[in-house]
Amino acid sequence: MRIVLWGTYDSGKPRTRIMQDGLRRNNASIISCHSDVWAGIDDKTSITGFGRRIIILLKWLSRYPGLLYRYLRLPDHDAVIVGYLGHLDVLILKPFALLRGKPVIWDAFLSLYSTIVEDRKLVSRWNPLAIALYIWEWLACRAADRIILDTASHAEYFIHTFGIKKNCITAIFVGAEDTAFKCAATAVAPSKPSTTVLFYGQYIPLHGITTIIEAARLTRNDTIDWILVGTGQESEHIKTMIDTGPDCRITRIEWIPYEQLCEWIQKADICLGIFGTSDKAARVIPNKVFQILLCGKPLITRDSDAIRELLSPAMPGVMLVPADDPVALADAVKALSHAQLPQTLHQDLKSRITPAAVGKAWLRMLKSCIQKAG
Question: What Å distances lie between residue 319 and 63, 126, 187, 297, 332, CA to CA?
Answer: 46, 38, 24, 12, 7
Residues ≥6 apart with Cβ < 8 Å to 242: 213, 250, 252
Q: Is residue 338, in this structure, part of any structural domain at all?
A: yes
Q: Is residue 183, in this structure, part of any structural domain at all?
A: no
CA 185 to chain CA centroid, nearest Å: 27
Spell out the alpha helix ranges (H) of the chain.
Answer: 14-25, 50-62, 64-72, 89-100, 112-113, 128-143, 152-162, 209-218, 235-244, 261-267, 279-283, 287-294, 326-338, 350-353, 355-373
Q: Is residue 186, in this structure, part of any structural domain at all?
A: no
Q: Are residues 160 and 28 in the same domain?
A: yes
Q: Is residue 185, in this structure, part of any structural domain at all?
A: no
The pTM assigned to this predicted structure is 0.92
Q: Are residues 136 and 270 in the same domain?
A: no
Q: Is residue 149, in this structure, part of any structural domain at all?
A: yes
How far apart CA 22 and CA 226 sit, in angstroms, is: 34
Q: Are residues 138 and 78 in the same domain?
A: yes
Q: Are residues 164 and 212 in the same domain?
A: no
**Three-class secondary structure of residue 177 per DSSP:** coil
Contact yes or no for 227/197 (Cβ under 8 A): yes
Q: Are residues 238 and 225 in the same domain?
A: yes
Q: Are residues 60 and 164 in the same domain?
A: yes
Per-residue pLDDT of the chain (374 residues; tens, 9 = 90+): 999 999 999 888 899 999 999 999 999 999 999 998 866 666 555 556 666 667 777 877 899 999 999 999 999 999 999 999 899 999 999 999 999 999 999 999 999 999 999 988 889 999 999 999 999 999 999 999 999 999 999 999 999 999 999 999 999 999 999 999 998 754 445 567 889 999 999 999 999 999 999 999 999 999 999 999 999 889 999 999 998 888 889 999 998 999 999 999 999 999 999 999 999 999 999 999 999 999 999 999 999 999 999 999 999 999 999 999 999 999 999 999 988 888 889 988 988 999 999 999 999 999 999 998 87
Range of the domain at 239: 195-351
Give Rg (Cα) of the chain.
21
Q: Is residue 189, in this structure, part of any structural domain at all?
A: no
Backbone dihedral angles phi then psi of residue 65, each to the nearest 5 degrees? -55, -45
Q: Is residue 213, in this structure, part of any structural domain at all?
A: yes
Q: Are residues 231 and 316 in the same domain?
A: yes
Q: What is the CATH number of the domain that holds 299?
A: 3.40.50.2000
